[in-house]
Amino acid sequence: MRAKKVAVAMSGGVDSSLTAALLINQGYDVIGITMQLKEYSNENSCCNFNEANDARRVAESLNIPHYVADFRDEFNAHVVQYFINEYLNGRTPNPCIQCNKYIKFGSLFKFIDELGIDYLATGHYARIEFDNEKYLLKKGRDLKKDQSYVLYNLTAEQLSRTLLPLGTQSKDETRQLAEKLNLPVAHKPDSQEICFVPNDDYKSFLKNNANSESNALQSGNIVDTSGKILGSHNGTAFYTIGQRKGLGIAAPKPLYVVNSNVEHKEVIVGDADEIFNSILTANNIHWIYPQKFPLKAFAKIRYGPRVAECIVKEMDELHVKVEFNAPQRAITPGQSIVFYDDDIVLGGGTIINFDKKISP
């Protein structure tokens, strides 16, 4: 009986490198694939020439084949242009979620299918378990490192063909194991930046790559929630909900960005209480398995360990209304909301608007 073939998405970092090593030790027939997502450069990001070279060195040390798959066109269309368009439309995007949906678990999955490979493996800190005839996506054991939030778009079929061997351990354990196995990237620092944004400077990236005539890049007024002009700004795209610093206005109490209006070129600010809301609407809803409504769940409105209790009401197949038990700080259109039943990921969608709680 032949060993099952696994393609490991190798970025050149310690997580994907250890993933490959662990699967070899578990008896899988492993190959490494590095995705080329843009023109190679010397920038410190997860898809530059040095990263690809590190992945190749790790593959050589593990004595496994290594390939580079060119997804530059797909990445530009589904991730880079999406990132730009969201900002220009007054929303704050999450490019990692798009990349996982369309590139890593989209284009790459199609690529390995053509090679006749059984499984795709990544270094994400999340778990996949088979229980009651279902493949379930669960939070990683280390909640501080848990990455299940960015994987909510996976389908049940994809879960059945995906391996996440790091989900049961912490980052410290990963580095210790990598050192024990003499992996050349055991102590390589993690990349914290958006891979296609040089120097993590998204403002300069937008100025250099977006349509400069867009309203979101034009100067305008900073106003309070009553419409009173308090100051000026250089573009609504450069402000995020909940932001306090960098407003450049004098006020007797701290003010925060509570919303923006791209059409009128306005950044709207308010006091601390005004950045809390209890209701949101989300679209592009994806459920890993069908749900019954109204649905009691826990939800994350951004990457991180914090969850909040809520009730989810279906508006149609692609839209839901979410009512939180307690007001949430800085609900941000463009970000994803992900729903959980304890540690099980149910699905998620993209936040499109928010509101205060409506009294019964």
Q: Which residue has the higher pLDDT, 1 or 273?
A: 273
- Residue 80 and residue 149 share a domain: yes
Distance between CA atoms of residues 184 and 234, nearest Å: 45
Is it true that the peptide bond before 294 is cis, omega within 30 degrees of 0? yes
- Residue 298 and residue 189 share a domain: no
Distance between CA atoms of residues 232 and 79, nearest Å: 31
Range 328-339 average pLDDT: 98
Range 196-219 average pLDDT: 95
Number of domains in the chain: 3
Tokens 């450049």 identify what position? Answer: 248
- Residue 84 and residue 64 share a domain: yes
Range 111-126 average pLDDT: 97
- Confidence grade of residue 359 (pLDDT, cut at 50, 70, 90): very low
With a cut of 70, say whether residue 139 has pLDDT above it. Answer: yes
With a cut of 80, say whether residue 360 has pLDDT above it. Answer: no
Based on the residue annotation, tell me whether 99 is a catalytic residue of this protein.
yes
**In a domain? residue 82:** yes
**In a domain? residue 139:** yes
Domain range for 294 is: 276-355
With a cut of 50, say whether residue 42 has pLDDT above it. Answer: no
The reported pTM is 0.95
- Residue 188 and residue 44 share a domain: yes
Q: Which residue has the higher pLDDT, 65 or 39?
A: 65
Q: In what order do the strands lie in the sheet with 229-233?
A: 229-233, 220-224, 266-270, 256-261
- Residue 186 and residue 45 share a domain: yes
- Domain containing 225 — which CATH number? 2.30.30.280
- Residue 253 and residue 106 share a domain: no
For the range 352-358, what are the long-range contacts, defined as Cβ-Cβ under 8 Å and sequence gap of 24 or more?
352/280, 352/281, 352/282, 352/283, 353/280, 353/281, 354/277, 354/279, 354/280, 354/281, 355/277, 355/278, 355/279, 355/280, 356/277, 356/278, 356/279, 356/327, 357/277, 357/278, 357/279, 357/323, 357/327, 358/279
**In a domain? residue 43:** yes
As given in the structure block, the two tokens for residue 46 are: 């997860």
- Domain containing 36 — which CATH number? 3.40.50.620
- Residue 121 and residue 19 share a domain: yes
Q: What is the DSSP string of 142-188?
A: STTT--GGGGTT--HHHHTTEE-TTTTS-HHHHHHHHHHTT-TTTTP
Exactly one of 46, 47, 99, 310 is catalytic; which is it?
Answer: 99
Average pLDDT in the chain: 94
Exactly one of 46, 47, 96, 195 is catalytic; which is it?
Answer: 195
| Confidence (pLDDT) at 237 | 98
Boundary of a domain, candidates 236, 255, 270: 270
- Residue 344 and residue 288 share a domain: yes
- Confidence grade of residue 259 (pLDDT, cut at 50, 70, 90): very high
pLDDT tens digits for range 121-133: 999 999 999 999 9
- Residue 280 and residue 260 share a domain: no
- Confidence grade of residue 209 (pLDDT, cut at 50, 70, 90): very high
- Residue 115 and residue 36 share a domain: yes
Distance between CA atoms of residues 122 and 116, nearest Å: 18
**In a domain? residue 76:** yes
| Confidence (pLDDT) at 23 | 98
Based on the residue annotation, tell me whether 46 is a catalytic residue of this protein.
no
**In a domain? residue 211:** no
- Residue 162 and residue 233 share a domain: no
**In a domain? residue 213:** no
With a cut of 90, say whether residue 94 has pLDDT above it. Answer: yes
**In a domain? residue 212:** no
Range 216-231 average pLDDT: 97
Boundary of a domain, candidates 147, 166, 198: 198
Boundary of a domain, candidates 228, 251, 270: 270
pLDDT tens digits for range 278-311: 999 999 999 999 999 999 999 999 999 899 999 9
% of residues, the chain, pLDDT over 70: 96
| Confidence (pLDDT) at 2 | 79
Which of 286, 285, 357 lies closest to 320 in space, CA to CA?
285
- Domain containing 316 — which CATH number? 2.40.30.10
- Residue 235 and residue 192 share a domain: no
pLDDT tens digits for range 261-285: 999 999 999 999 999 999 999 999 9
Range 337-343 average pLDDT: 98
With a cut of 90, say whether residue 193 has pLDDT above it. Answer: no
**In a domain? residue 188:** yes
Tokens 């492993």 identify what position? Answer: 30
